[in-house]
Structure 1
Amino acid sequence: MSAAVPGRDPITPEELERAKAIIRSIEQSFQSTVVGQHQLLRSLLVALLTGGHVLMESVPGLAKTTAAATLARSVSASFHRIQCTPDLLPSDIVGTQIYDQHTGEFRTQLGPVHANFVLLDEINRSSAKTQSAMLEAMQERQTSIGGETHPLPQPFLVLATQNPIEQEGTYTLPEAQLDRFLLKEVLTYPSPTEEAEIVRRAESGVFEQGHGEPVATLDDVRFLQGLAKRVYVDQAITNYVVQLMYVTRHATDYIGAQLAGYIEYGASPRGSLSFSQAARALALVQGRDWVIPEDVKDLRHAVLRHRLILGYEAEADGVTTEQIIDAIFGAVRTP
């Protein structure tokens, strides 16, 4: 099925086949190094195709850094890892001007944010000022050093991690800044079979050797990004997404006073935009050039878990954001 989109060129069968081949190669490259984490791979591919950013939450040791580095290597992208600490300064991230004694002039030294893939490890350990500098770069796709503007490379993808079990010495990301992330993934422990495979690969030296060669180019990534924007979204699905976002803000009339009482703030219009962009990318990842309602449903937790703000009563009663999201989706008719 291929449909014409007003203002967009329809995707040709040849373009769709090329996209499938590129995505399949990236998936195989990722899976040759990273064991399991299929949900994370899906989110990383969606972010790659949309130019969005991903917030990853998990306890240490679940291959977040390995996943980011593997994806970057598979598409021939530059990769920088930034370890966030309380004394990290904005200039440590975006760059600064350095005085050159030989020339008697200042020269600009770009920071590690100037890479295609940037891993912000434990972002909640950096101060609010540093978090703001990074999130500004994410939004504006440029940095300003000494009055000069420096565009960030394209594609540009930020993968930020935070550790939920350590709160001492951390700075919680404000809700408005969380909204800048396209997706939030919560990683879980591997199964016993997967963990055994992780041990086998570690002992065979897969991780130390940087296993795997590039299977795609940055031009391929830009091709996929352009194609994702041309994926067809029917007006009925757009209305479905908008209605879901409306329910997050007026939940009492749809999911009952008890569940709705746990919600402090619903999703902003950025939630609707994120669903539209991410659903297009997910459709392309799955080999289609049109969006179906299941694409929206599959992305519901990743898109909304950091946009739906619950009160302290929810934590006290053991109610999770995912439960509220599922209730909202159950209350809105699927087109």
Structure 2
Amino acid sequence: MKKFMNSAETLVAESLAGFVAAHERLVAFGADGKFVRRRTLRPGKVAVISGGGAGHEPMHVGFVGPGMLDAACTGRIFTSPTPDQIVSAIRETEGGAGCLLVVKNYDGDVMNFEMAAELAAADHKVATVIVRDDINPDGFSRSQGRRGVAGTLVIEKLLGAAAEAGWPLDDLKRLGEDLDGRIRTMGVSLRGVRVPDTQRETFALAEDEMEMGVGIHGEPGRARAKFATATEIVATILEAIRLDLSPEGNDRLLLFVNGFGGTPVSELYLAYNIARSLCADFGLAVARSLVGTYVTSLDMAGLSVTIARLDGRELSLWDAPVDTAALRWGP
């Protein structure tokens, strides 16, 4: 397979080294290069830490910085970071107010972050929020129940802003758990991906097929369907999210269209326009929007749509300044 890499074994480490060098104003490596953290830590606030396998960039390292994450731990491609990476991040970034772990609902991530929390509990107050925004309730081989997918960005942004504003750990945990029930995502893919370590394609589709309900590890989705127009595809996704989330006309929604790594930005905006029009047809008010490639599955040709039901306080947290490699707005 053709990749801009020296070897599959060194790909992640070399990529992270380039990321830290390119964004040295914002980030630095933590102890022994086990994680990426803010270059300037802020004592007295709750440290917000997340992470997962490589292959989802810019999530999570791209969200490290003021207004969002204090640290991100990266494993091998589509593989959870190890407990010792997470423990090191907790010890280096926790500044006296405790630490909140934001964890996508995949078995490896949940197990390793839980183990790290237990190992660090003697010296640090640690709480965990599990993200389960995928619309599919049946689970897959990697997760028990709903998976954590692109909605993870929304939760990390809101919790990061709240931590920056001085919220205590218990309140942050309650906010994260409440948000988790008000955010839903569904993805679609036009082809599988080849993981450099194995060079095998995760699934194969015929020219006239697409995979609906995919996750972010290149895994198949909930159904295989005939390829259709963009309007038909987005309408199918929006209807599935509506049935699951049950938004109402007085809700204020965040609409997030995310690329999986191999989809042109022009197609993402086209999909957003369709989704925005459909929301209007349903009498739903889109209060905030985000479009771009943020939560990827290597170079998968596909996209996901996320809808979050937010109240006024949460919209203010979304609007709060953020300064990271992948998200940046405000003064």
- Which structure shows the bigger proportion of residues in helix conformation? 1
Q: Which is bigger in relative contact order (C-alpha 8 A, separation at least 6)?
A: 1
Q: TM above 0.5, one fold?
A: no
- Which structure shows the bigger proportion of residues in strand conformation? 2
- TM-score by structure 2 length? 0.27
